[in-house]
Amino acid sequence: MPVIKILPHPEYCPAGTEITAPAGTSICEALLDNHINIEHACDMSCACTTCHVIVRQGLNSLNAAEEEEEDLLDRAWGLEPQSRLSCQAILAQTDLIVEIPKYTINHAKENH
């Protein structure tokens, strides 16, 4: 199983951590399954950008972003060339390093 190293985030993962998840799982599902409660306002349907992450290592191992995801990413706060919507980024067998941006475009957070 690939290892996902999550860099420190003041709210979701203050000390940073490492988790494992089976290949074929989305980054968002892996985070949520490991009690890292990343925002996902559209319930992982590729309709918002609240689950935006920056893949610092291992980006090329993920499935290719589709046009719908790329269009949405244009609205994400802190967009970088390594940005993905975590609900659309599917794990392969390669380890990743992931950063959760400090902010999202959401004005209010919901508890899922």
What strand order describes the sheet that includes 17-20? Answer: 17-20, 3-6, 96-99, 52-57, 83-85
pLDDT tens per residue across all 112 residues of the chain: 999 999 999 999 999 999 999 999 999 999 999 999 999 989 999 999 999 999 999 999 999 999 999 999 999 989 999 999 999 999 999 999 999 998 776 644 555 4
Write down the pTM of the prediction.
0.91
The dihedral of CA 64, 69, 71, 72: what is its sign? negative
* Residue whose structure tokens are 């985030």: 9
The predicted structure's pLDDT at residue 16: 97
Task: Quote the pLDDT of residue 103.
Answer: 79
| Of residues 12, 17, 75, 78, the one with CA closest to residue 39 | 12
